[in-house]
Chains A and B, each alone.
Chain A
C-alpha cells in the first residue's frame, strides 16, 4: 500500500512527506520498489529492463549509461546483461529487479523479501549495498523471513502477526535473538516428534 501496489481503503499514510492516497505520483517519484513478484518482462533482457527504468524515471543518457554499467558490474550481471529475464536464474532476476529499484537513486527503498531464494553471494552483495545505501541516508524498508540476515543489517524491527504489530523496537532494544523473539511472539514452532521417522535397514 505504501509503495502503490495496493490502493488504500481507509486511513492515511505518508511517505517522504506525501499522502500515498492523494499524491501517489509524488511518492512513486521518490521511492524504489522490489516487488515480491519482481515485475519483470520475460522477453526483455536484463540491460533492457534497466534502460527502460532509466527512461521511465527521466534519467539523461549519460546518467543512465554510467549507473547501468556500474550496477551491472557491482551486481555481477555484466556477463548476463543480454539474458532474457524469463531465462535467467532466480538470483539473476532478483538482482535485476533490485538494480531497477536502485537505479533512480530513490529517497526510500521498499524491498519485499529481498533475501529469499537467492544464493549466499547474491545475498551478501545485496546486503552490502543496502548497508551502504542506508549509510548515505537512504531509508530501507524491507520485509523478510530470513531473520539472521535481517538482524545483521536492520536498525529497527517490526513484527506483524495476524495483521497486528506484536513487536516494534530499535535493534539495540532486542531482548534476545530476533529468531527467538519471532518464535516466541509470532509463530511458536510445533513440537511434535515423528517417531516413525527413522532409518530401517531393508
Chain B
C-alpha cells in the first residue's frame, strides 16, 4: 500500500505541475484542422465547432497522466501484480479526466 501511495503521490505531483504548463494543451492537431476545414464553407457551423474545440482544449484537464507515468520505470519497480495493476489503474482513471479523451481521435 505504501508503494501505491508513493506512486500515486508522484503521479499527482507530476500531473499538477504539468497542468501549469502549456505542455498540457496538446492534441491531435491534424484531426482538429481536418474537421474544422470540413465546416469552412458554413460559417455558422465553423464558429460552433471552433468554439466547442476551443472549450475542450482549454479546460485545464488536458494533461494526460499516462504521458507522465514512465512505463519502463513501472515495469522494473518491485511491485506485486496487484500493485502494478493499481498503479496502472491510477494513471488510467486520471486519464479519463482528460478532455482530449472525449474527442474522437484525441491523444
Contact = CB atoms under 8 A, between A and B. Distances in A.
Nearest to A52: B10
A43 B7 contact: no
6 contacts: A3-B76, A4-B76, A28-B76, A38-B72, A40-B70, A56-B6
A41 B10 contact: yes
B61 to A, nearest CB: 16
Contact of B72 (A31, A39, A43): A39
A55 B69 CA distance: 17
Interface of B: 2-3, 6-7, 10, 13-15, 17-18, 68-80
Nearest to A55: B6
Interface of A: 3-5, 25, 28-29, 31, 33, 35-44, 48, 52, 55-58, 84
A56 B14 contact: no
A42 B7 contact: no
B80 A56 contact: no
A43 B73 contact: no
Contacts of B13: 43-44, 48
Main secondary structure of the interface of B (DSSP, over half): helix
B76 A43 contact: no
Contacts of B10: 41, 44, 48, 52
Contacts of B15: 43
Main secondary structure of the interface of A (DSSP, over half): loop
B75 A43 contact: no
B73 A39 contact: yes
A167 to B, nearest CB: 28
Contacts of A41: 10, 14, 68-70, 73
A76 to B, nearest CB: 22
Contact of A55 (B3, B74, B80): B3
Nearest to B19: A43
Contacts of A48: 10, 13
Residue with the highest number of chain A CB atoms closer than 10 Å, among B3, B69, B73: B73
Contact of B2 (A5, A37, A55, A84): A55
Contact of B76 (A33, A40, A55, A84): A33
A28 B76 CA distance: 6
Contacts of A40: 70, 73
A72 B78 CA distance: 23
B80 A43 contact: no
B98 to A, nearest CB: 15
A197 B17 CA distance: 50
B77 A56 contact: yes
A36 B74 CA distance: 14
Given A25-B78, A56-B7, A43 B2 contact: no
Given A5-B72, A52-B7, A55-B3, A43 B77 contact: no
